[in-house]
Chains A and B, each alone.
Chain A
Amino acid sequence: MTYLIQGETGDWEVVIGLEVHAQAITNAKLFSGAPATFGAGPNENVSLIDAAMPGMLPVINEMAIEQAVRTGLGLRAAINKYSVFERKNYFYADLPQGYQISQYLHPIVGEGVVTLDLSDGSTRDVGIERLHLEQDAGKSIHDQDPKRSMIDLNRAGVVLMEIVSKPDIRSPEEAGAYLKKLRAILRYLGTCDGNMEEGSMRADVNVSVRPKGADELRTRVEVKNVNSVRFVMQAIEVEAERQVEVWEDGDEVVQETRLFDPNKGETRAMRTKEFAHDYRYFPDPDLLPVRFDDDFIERIKATLPELPDDKKDRFINDMGLSAYDAGVLVADRETAAYFEDAAKGRDAKTVANWLTTNLFGALKKLDKGIGESPVSAIHLGELVGLIEDETISTKIAKDVFEEMLKTSKAPGDIVEEKGLKQITDTGAIEAIVDQVIADNPEQADEVRGGNDKAIGWFVGQVMKASQGKANPGQVNGLLRAKLLG
């Protein structure tokens, strides 16, 4: 599955690293008590600290530390019991302090790993370099006035976790899988809502290319602020192709920051001058180093939910699902929970089947998420239960399921109301079988004459006569006994 770009001089390999900015779920900002929520009016969620008024000082929000540690644990990463907030100094209109408080030499989380679930069912590990906490910047609005930009500081100071991957990613598909998996982990942990459209998860993509088989790392380009999984994949594709062209033309790729334009399907260099960027990091003298002990980590560890990889293993090993089905079901925390609720006391594989083939398709048609499913997990489980205890056949179950989608009623009630209960009373089935044999003497002779296959035709006739309610196994047995016995 190696992803290669065919150039004129040969094949090229792509080397990708992702820097994901994930907004930590908190009520208040990293260093102030202003709300961290979306949707407020301009400059409403701004405290004097966020506006960097003279003499204002930061105080750490303890939840930010907790969320970072929780995320670190979810990434199977080293947690640093000593970390330091530093100032990253640069001037920009939406950066009120003239510096961003971030972590540099001593991040709160060190190396970890994310396991990608690829479409062919295989997995691949991507290394995590670090996770650090930092303040978000405000927002510049450029399209309201021809001569001026407008500044809204609502986002200034919101808690961001910057999660930096190692340059281990080798294709747009892997980049997509990485983002999806990271998002799943964050959502399982409850540390970030992973909403890329609203910007609570954003990615900067570092892309470089090299001739296939080479070990060197060539100059990388940073594509900034790409706001969907699809765009990340597209951005990598077009940027990698651009770089191959540059190298093959005998030019050099320059280290720069580019923006992805999804409308034109291309990247372009940012016009903001990167000239002489020198961030002059130094420890923020307004804050002391962050220290905590093992107890603190253990307390958070105790609150961790089962994570996708563990869940997937359990689904495969304990519940007998295929790796593919397990991967699909754990990709989303809600889906996994739905599945587990539905599968309680039922055959897990049957439930998984109903979910992936019937329910997913139906939800897609209805354009609804699993949380809005008209069929509840309990009801889906009950439906499988009705099949298992032979109250209804699989075929009838499909009709019942359609009805459940429409009415959200319990399958038992639907079966009751519509009289769909399978006929298992031998006497009743025998009466129908006898009638069908009597009505079709020629076909009966054919079977008696040795044409086994014709028995299937009789099964169909009996099922039809019973409006599908007769137990097919019993029908088959009785027919054989009467015609062949």
Chain B
Amino acid sequence: MMSDLRDWTIASASDALEKGEVSSVELTGAFIEAMEAGRTLNAFITETPELARERAAESDARRKNGDARGPMDGVPIAMKDLFCTEGVRTTAASHILDNFIPTYESTVSGNLRDAGSVMLGKTNLDEFAMGSANITSYFGSVKNPWTPEGANANLVPGGSSGGSVAAVSGGLAIAATGTDTGGSIRQPASFTGLVGMKPTYGRCSRWGVVAFASSLDQAGPLTRNVEDAAIMLQAMAGHDPKDSTSLPLDMPDCRAACTRDAKGLRVGIPKEYTLDSMPAEIQKLWDQGAQWFRDMGADVVEVSLPHTKYALPTYYIVAPAEASSNLARYDGVRYGFRKDGASLDEMYELTRGEGFGAEVQRRVMIGTYVLSAGYYDAYYVKAQQVRTLIAEDFKKVFNDVDVLLTPTAPSAAFFEGEKMDDPIAMYLNDVFTVPASLAGLPAISVPGGLDTSGLPLGLQLISGVCQEETLFRAASALEEAAGFTARPGEMA
């Protein structure tokens, strides 16, 4: 067994399991210990050690019989607590679902289970995935493993998939699932030195995933490296007839694409992603990224996505509107928390008033407002029109380039308590990730380097619809050029 669990990747674990150097039971046992020892991170809402041991034993038995199911078989992973898991409490980090035990398994978690992976537990997140710092969870904030020793406050891990990145980055799991609505995979990956990938909208089934904003939600992997992301995505994705928006297409071989170099790749640098307020070191890393691509023989050109600045406000109309409707089912009648009232309406109001946290309430109300009579056209329809323009911007640009290179987030991880009194300041975290979400494009965050205080910064690559192979090709090249090896607790 490796002394530092953070040395394990999906690929290396799969290799070691195949060679018989380690059993899934051993590997899983080590991660269960780490999970228990790492509770200060608050990465997990629900730990499932018994289930994990059981599945690990099953995996070992399969392997012994020569029935191993591929590279995920026996690999211990963490599951964002937004995926419904049969018989295992699923909360969406909300009081309103804190006692909910699904009788069904989401397609994505089911795919991962069928691929043989071992679920260690359900990870913390922003309530209903609404947040960029993992500070809105009913189960408490998640601590970023990169938090310097002796700091007065915790660094946030980013959000909403904060528990998942903390678990992987802190060595409590080899990989984890995330979901991304406006950046909830990529931004926390950037904050913790991980790879976070959001596929084309429709690649991963949304069936059984607690919905935030249906037209934006996509599941994806959070891993230590690009190859792992390709392996895990392969297991998660695929057409699902139970999701009407699922793409009826097979996933290309993204792992194979990771071995190709970047020579001749056309890389676009969208000029509108330059922000006045952006720290110089992020601009520097971005420039460095472009240089790496040039050095590898790629063509790097400046491109224009003129409607970029409208992406965030568009997102903050569309996502809350859909959320206000998606969250209407949490009414205390069929499952979840209920606060009794004298009348039906009072029961609804008390249940939802106590069951939802402040940020969720705020977004549900914004969404209710922008859909309401007299405002629908001015806000919702307008936003969906702008969304069309944003998608068209991308479409045009991808006639000329293969991928776009941008920073993942406008800052490194910040301390809990910062940006808290102004929702809009918090929303700005997603300024670089939201445009690809609105257009449904695949995008990935790859660790690029450290800022002056030693915190990781990610670079984002975006490709055209269903161009995941190109995306992985570019991402693995970038990864190699960046040579990012830093780990939390080993900061200079």
Contacts and interface: CB of A to CB of B under 8 A. Distances in A.
A and B touch in the complex (CB under 8 A): yes
Interface of A: 48, 51-60, 87, 89, 91-93, 96-99, 149, 151, 273, 278, 280-282, 285-288
Given A54-B211, A60-B244, A96 B334 contact: yes
Contact of A87 (B211, B242, B325, B368): B325
Contacts of A53: 84, 102-104, 334-335
B372 A285 contact: no
Contact of A91 (B84, B209, B242, B331): B331
B334 A280 contact: no
A92 B324 CA distance: 16
A89 B328 contact: yes
B321 interface: yes
Contacts of A282: 321, 325, 371, 376, 380
Contact of B368 (A280, A285, A286): A280
11 contacts: A53-B334, A54-B90, A54-B211, A60-B244, A89-B371, A98-B325, A98-B327, A280-B373, A286-B206, A286-B214, A287-B244
A59 B241 contact: yes
A57 B104 CA distance: 13
Contacts of A52: 329, 334
A339 B472 CA distance: 72
Nearest to B209: A55
A285 B331 contact: no
Contacts of A59: 241-244
Nearest to B318: A285
B426 interface: no
- Majority-rule SS of B interface residues: loop
Nearest to A288: B244
B246 to A, nearest CB: 9
A48 B103 contact: yes
Interface in B381-412: none
Given A98-B329, A99-B328, 17 more contacts: A48-B103, A53-B103, A54-B97, A54-B211, A55-B208, A60-B244, A87-B325, A91-B348, A96-B329, A96-B334, A97-B329, A99-B325, A149-B344, A278-B373, A282-B380, A285-B322, A286-B244
Q: B100, B207, B244, B373: which has the most chain A beta carbons within 10 Å?
A: B244
Contacts of A286: 206, 214, 244-245
B210 interface: yes
Contacts of A51: 334
Contacts of B100: 54
Contacts, number: 99
Given A55-B106, A282-B371, A286-B214, A151 B380 contact: no
A281 B381 CA distance: 11
Given A93-B344, A96-B334, A55 B211 contact: yes
Interface of B: 83-84, 90, 92, 97, 100, 102-104, 106, 206-211, 213-215, 241-245, 321-322, 324-325, 327-329, 331, 333-335, 344-345, 348, 368, 371-373, 376, 380
Contacts of B206: 55, 57, 286
A447 B435 CA distance: 111
A135 to B, nearest CB: 14
Contacts of A58: 244
B78 to A, nearest CB: 19
A55 B86 CA distance: 13
B312 to A, nearest CB: 19
B333 A151 contact: yes
Given A48-B103, A99-B325, A282-B325, A57 B372 contact: no
Contacts of B348: 91
Contact of A98 (B242, B245, B331, B335): B331
Contacts of A87: 325
A48 B333 contact: no
A422 B213 CA distance: 84
Contacts of A57: 206-207, 242-244
Contacts of B210: 54-55
A283 B48 CA distance: 39
A278 B103 contact: no
A88 to B, nearest CB: 10
Given A59-B241, A89-B325, A278-B373, A54 B102 contact: yes
Contacts of B329: 52, 54, 96-98
Contacts of A285: 213-215, 245, 322
A287 B368 CA distance: 20
A97 B321 contact: no
Cβ-closest 6 pairs across A and B: A98-B328, A280-B371, A285-B214, A285-B215, A55-B208, A52-B329
A151 B347 CA distance: 15
A280 B244 contact: no
Contacts of B213: 285
A149 B343 CA distance: 11
B64 to A, nearest CB: 35
